[in-house]
């Protein structure tokens, strides 16, 4: 094969920049230029996917999404800068080096989610540090390789199309395509890619796109590459490896998640908001959101009876009830025990949750078809925004959000949010909040109490023992002190009038600590307290 020295080796004429393009190169200039710029678009898209996939997987497996995404993005950007700096040491065979880089990025980046998922499933919890080392090692490696790519593309464009570009135009063109690719992926990743493909297959799909860029380069510069057949064979091997992994991605994900959860998975889905997994074993059915247990069928009645009935029964004859969160329908099930209830509004962010729990027979049995009740109105919206827009008033408001493990959830435990709750609460009404464990996280729990009190509501703290969770805390909020109800609805399995007073009593190891701050949008102290206290368990 003939070789163009301006592509794979430095030469005096190249340094001077005076050599005319060869006839064959001039004939192919337009197509090659377009495809190289398109490759910048693909490279940027692939690089951001690997970064987002690593952050999402770290959040899913390790928790604390803000910390994980911040450190992953920081490490990745640092590595890209390192790669850009190292590119200065590549002087010869630019096309060949670019081709090798694309193959390495495609294979390593594409397989990274699958590899991390598999390793996490195999390692015992005591080896969490080893998993973090692997995670950040792969992020740094992929980031460095991606950082090498764009400088090489710019230099290849400059060498082959020097008559078409001044330096400022070259930089402008390349960075425009780079940022456009990043924009497309930033939008598509949470809304399309993860819900439709999942993290593992998303990584593999973009790995194949990286390898496709290598194949483009192989074809475009076929007359200029040394050892063309060797490069072609390497491309074929990379494609075969990623395609085989793609074909087995579902089996791998199922195996890894089965090991992670320790039970048979009967449903799994990635929505735009979270990873939803339902498992079934000898002990019953469990729901996990982003790897965190939400309920176990063997004792969820304890949690939901304690959540709903102290407020509902104390109100007396509630007619209009609002449920914020609680898309599984279990709280609605308990609310519908009261004949006085005329209308229930359920505001759940994720439509996948309400659809799942209103259609899957196993889950419909658990919530007793509560989500199909004619008294129920389901609104799939953000609770904060919905409260701001609504003018409705409610006799009881049940707030059943996931724990405040990140800032997106933490805003739903702020003074600003509780002011909105107060505005929608009838004069004789009660609101109730699930508020994490007062035993494991006393400062977090009592911060919720402090925040409720800061908006002028009377807070009544109480707790219940739920075997799957341990001691669990709740907070009643009202404009008047809570009073013991005269009766509870029939058929309860846990709560009774005799046991209610004990729920209001806190032993010394769950007593209210001093020095607590109000949780505000501007400080989000609750998230920090929650992560610090729960982090001691790991």
What amino acid positions are annotated as catalytic residues?
400
Listed in sequence order, the DSSP H helices in 248-299 are 249-261
Structure tokens at 238: 């990379």
Query: How far are the Cα atoms of 48, 216, 235 from residue 209, in angstroms, in the given order?
Result: 13, 10, 12
Q: Which residues pair with 463 in a beta bridge?
A: 473
Which secondary structure element, helix H or strand E, spans residue 157, and what is its range? helix 128-160
Q: Are 382 and 354 in contact (CB under 8 A)?
A: no
SS3 state at 71: helix
Q: Which residues of 476-505 are buried (b: 16+ CB within 10 A; e: fewer)?
A: bbbeeebeebeebbeeeebbeeeebeebee
Burial letters for 8-27: b for 16+ Cβ neighbours within 10 Å, e otherwise?
beeeeebeeeeeebeeebee
For residues 516 and 471, the answer to whether their CB atoms sit within 8 Å is no
User: Residue 496's closest CA among 335, 297, 305?
Assistant: 305
Question: Half-sphere exposure (CA, 13 Å, Cβ side) for 83?
Answer: 24
Q: Tell me, what DSSP letter sits at residue 342?
A: -
């Amino acid at each position: 094969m003939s070789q163009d020295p301006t592509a794979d080796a430095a030469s005096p004429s190249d340094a001077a920049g005076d050599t005319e393009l060869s006839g064959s190169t001039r004939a192919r200039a337009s197509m090659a230029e377009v495809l190289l710029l398109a490759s910048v678009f693909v490279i940027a898209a692939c690089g951001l996917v690997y970064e987002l996939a690593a952050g999402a997987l770290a959040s899913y497996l390790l928790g604390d999404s803000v910390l994980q995404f911040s450190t992953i993005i920081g490490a990745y950007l640092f590595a890209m800068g390192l790669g850009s700096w190292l590119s200065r040491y590549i002087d010869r065979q630019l096309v060949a080096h670019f081709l090798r880089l694309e193959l390495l990025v495609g294979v390593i980046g594409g397989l990274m989610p699958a590899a991390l998922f598999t390793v996490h499933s195999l390692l015992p919890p005591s080896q969490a540090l080893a998993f973090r080392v692997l995670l950040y090692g792969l992020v740094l490696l992929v980031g460095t390789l991606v950082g090498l790519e764009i400088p090489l593309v710019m230099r290849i464009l400059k060498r082959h199309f020097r008559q078409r570009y001044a330096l400022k135009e070259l930089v402008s063109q390349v960075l425009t395509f780079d940022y456009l690719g990043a924009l497309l992926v930033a939008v598509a990743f949470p809304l399309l890619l993860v819900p439709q493909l999942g993290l593992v297959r998303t990584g593999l799909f973009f790995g194949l796109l990286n390898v496709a860029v290598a194949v483009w380069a192989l074809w475009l510069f076929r007359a200029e590459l040394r050892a063309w057949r060797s490069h072609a064979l390497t491309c074929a091997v990379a494609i075969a490896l990623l395609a085989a992994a793609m074909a087995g991605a579902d089996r791998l994900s199922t195996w890894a998640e089965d090991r992670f959860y320790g039970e048979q998975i009967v449903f799994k889905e990635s929505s735009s908001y979270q990873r939803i997994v339902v498992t079934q074993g000898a002990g019953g059915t469990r729901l996990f959101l982003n790897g965190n247990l939400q309920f176990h069928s063997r004792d969820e009645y304890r949690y939901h009876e304690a959540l709903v009935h102290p407020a509902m029964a104390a109100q007396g004859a509630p007619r209009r009830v609002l449920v914020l969160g609680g898309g599984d329908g279990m709280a609605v099930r308990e609310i519908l025990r009261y004949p006085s209830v005329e209308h229930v509004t359920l505001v759940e962010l994720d439509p996948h949750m309400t659809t799942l729990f209103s259609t899957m027979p196993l889950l419909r049995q658990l919530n007793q078809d509560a989500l199909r009740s004619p008294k129920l109105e389901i609104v799939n919206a953000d609770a904060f925004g919905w409260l701001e827009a609504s003018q409705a008033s409610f006799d009881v408001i049940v707030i059943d959000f996931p724990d405040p493990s990140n800032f997106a959830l933490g805003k739903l435990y702020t003074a600003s949010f509780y002011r909105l709750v107060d505005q929608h609460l009838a004069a004789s009404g009660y609101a109730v909040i699930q508020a994490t464990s007062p035993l494991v996280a006393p400062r977090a729990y009592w911060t919720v109490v402090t925040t409720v009190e800061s908006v002028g509501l009377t807070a009544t703290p109480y707790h219940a023992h739920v075997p799957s969770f341990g001691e669990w805390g709740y907070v009643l909020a009202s404009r008047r002190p809570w009073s013991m109800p005269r009766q509870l609805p029939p058929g309860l399995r846990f709560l009774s009038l005799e046991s209610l007073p004990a729920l209001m009593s806190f032993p010394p190891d769950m007593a209210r600590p001093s020095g607590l701050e109000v949780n505000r949008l501007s400080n989000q102290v609750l998230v920090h307290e929650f992560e610090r206290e729960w982090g001691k368990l790991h």
